[in-house]
Structure 1
């Protein structure tokens, strides 16, 4: 038995070595299988980097203003008797907006009429006196001084009649001004008047905004003002109607830059027959400033943002290459790329969140290089 112990030990060692070798072989095989699975290419879609014509435009932020913003106030002091309009109401030119208490105004007219009758009577008397003295003077029955005094009284009476008629016209004008009318066709806004309110001359009561045409007012920097020419075509968009574009033209250019901003105030006139654009709305205006430019562009979906930088995955020889790019303006569904790519390259446009630099790719579309 003692002689067999070395043999048994040898057999056990061989078995242990065989077991270790098998385990190692199995691990190597499993690692190879895992490696084979790891390098399976990711199916992605690519698009070719292309050159295209980019419109040469200037994008500006502006505010809508009515073509005319009429500030309505009273010419007279008085108490508001009626208010005939509300905010948002469309009214025509010369429509009555509100009226003042007319009792005092009517009394002023009556007093002026009485003054006219009195001065006319005085004038008739003075005229008759002058005629009598004229006849007496012709017969040497009155002195020249008496004739001249009678003539002076007649002239004074005529002046008093003219003044009385002027006062009567003013009284009638005040009666008319007691009915406050709109100077333009437009929409009532910012009504601050209330019935019974006592107003002073010049007090703002409401505004009437003429908005069948409107201005989009923008501020243009000095370096861009050359692009803003009278009559230049402009398009405008507002958040309220995201699918609608409003067409207009440059109508007014302030020739003096703002004292603080050093920017030029430019007004763009836009037809607004349906009154969709309303004063105070913010707009994005696009001004065509020259001939189109040739640029490089890729689909917007190919851009990945990380820590304030933009990247694209370029498909090269079946692998993904993470590439830093500098982007420009949006052009529809495409985005301008200023640096980092060349025409003819293929960029990945989907599964960006699943790709790492150097990953194998199975591509569709585009052109790999």
Structure 2
């Protein structure tokens, strides 16, 4: 029995060695298989860097303004009795916007009417007196001075009647003005009043923005102002509707540059029947300023931006190469490339979030690049 123990130990060592070697071989094999899986080419779509025609445009930023911005305010102090509109509500010319308490004004109108009746009665008396003195003067029963005095009283009474009617007209006008109405077709904005609030003359209560047409207001530098001419067509875009363009024309050019900026204020009129453009929006305006020119471009989908820098993945020997580029303007669905890659190079335009620098690539359809 003692002689058999070394043999058992030897067999156990041999078995353990075989198990260890098998484990190592399996791990190496698995690692090789995983490595082969890891280097499987990623199917992507590619596009060639190519030349395209770029319009020679002057790109500007500006702000949308209503053609007319009517500030609604009261001509006299009063308390708000009723508000009939809300922000964003469309109104037409003459629409009642709000009404002031006019009880005191109605009293003033009644007093003015009473003053008219009193002045008219005084005038009637003065006219009768004058006629009597006139007849007596013809009979030499009164002096000329008495006749002239009666005539002066009659004229004074006529003036008092005219003044009373003027006061009545003013009182009636104030009652009419107690109902504030829209002076233009437009949309209510910036409403700042509430029912019961006492307002002062001239205080802005709301505005009516006429936005069936709008201005896009831009500032143009001295060196570029020669390209801006009245009637020149301009394309306008806003971030709110990235897929839409709005056609406009230059309608107003301020002939005097700003004293500080030395830039010229220019207004671009844009039809806005659908009222998509709102006052205060930022807008981008593209003014065609000359002949087109050829530039290198790639599809917009190929571009990546990281920390303010712009990159594309270039297919080079079947692998992805992350390449820094300098970009220019957007031309439809293409992006101008000023530096970084040359004509004919293939760039990846999809699966950008799945690619790393150096990954193997295969073009859509199985063509390796």
TM-score, normalization by structure 1: 0.77
1:63 is matched with 63
Answer whether contact 1:235 1:286 (CA < 8 A) is retained: yes
How does 1:82-161 map onto structure 2 within 5 Å? Answer: 82-161=82-161
How far is the alpha carbon of 1:52 from its aligned partner?
A: 2.4
Does structure 1 residue 332 correspond to structure 2 residue 348?
no
1:332 deviates by: 2.7
Over the aligned positions, Cα root-mean-square deviation in angstroms equals 3.2
In the TM superposition, what whole-angstrom CA distance separates every residue of 1:123-150 from its partner, at most 9, and x where no partner exists?
A: 1111111111111111111111111111
Matched-pair contact (CA < 8 Å) for 2:89–2:188: yes
Structure 1 Cα separation of the partners of residues 194 and 302 of structure 2: 60
- Report deviation, 1:305: 7.0
CA distance in 2, matches of 1:66, 1:196: 30
SS of 2:243's equivalent in the other structure is coil
Following superposition, the deviation at residue 313 of structure 1 comes to: 7.8
- Write out aligned runs for 1:287-298 (5 A): 287-298=287-298
1:93-146, Cα deviation, whole Å (9 max, x unpaired): 111111111211111111101111111111111111111111111111111111
Superimposed CA distance per residue, residues 135-177 of structure 1 (whole angstroms, 9 cap, x where no aligned partner): 1111111111111111111111111111111111111101101
Could you say if the C-alpha distance between residues 305 and 270 of structure 1 is closer, same or farther in structure 2, counting changes exceeding 3 Å? closer
Q: CA deviation at 1:311?
A: 6.8
Partner of 1:164: 164
Cα 1:218/1:158, change in 2 over 3 Å: same
Matches within 5 A, 1:207-246: 207-246=207-246
Q: Is the 8 A contact 2:48 2:347 kept in 1?
A: no
- Which residue is 1:273 aligned to? 273
State the shift of 1:205 in Å: 1.2
The alpha-carbon distance between structure 1 residues 170 and 243, as it changes in their structure 2 partners (threshold 3 A), is same
Q: Number of paired residues?
A: 324
Mapped contact 2:320–2:356 kept (Cα < 8 A): no
- Compared CA separation, residues 48 and 70, structure 1 to 2 (3 A): same
CA distance in 1, matches of 2:306, 2:170: 76
The residue that corresponds to 1:73 in the other structure is 73
8 Å Cα contact 1:302/1:347 also seen in 2: no
- Are the equivalent residues in 2 in contact too, given 1:299–1:349 (CA < 8 A)? no
3-state SS, counterpart of residue 156 of structure 1: helix
Gaps in structure 1 of 5+ consecutive residues: 1-36
How far does residue 340 in structure 1 lie from its aligned partner after superposition? 5.8
Secondary structure of the corresponding residue to residue 125 of structure 1: helix
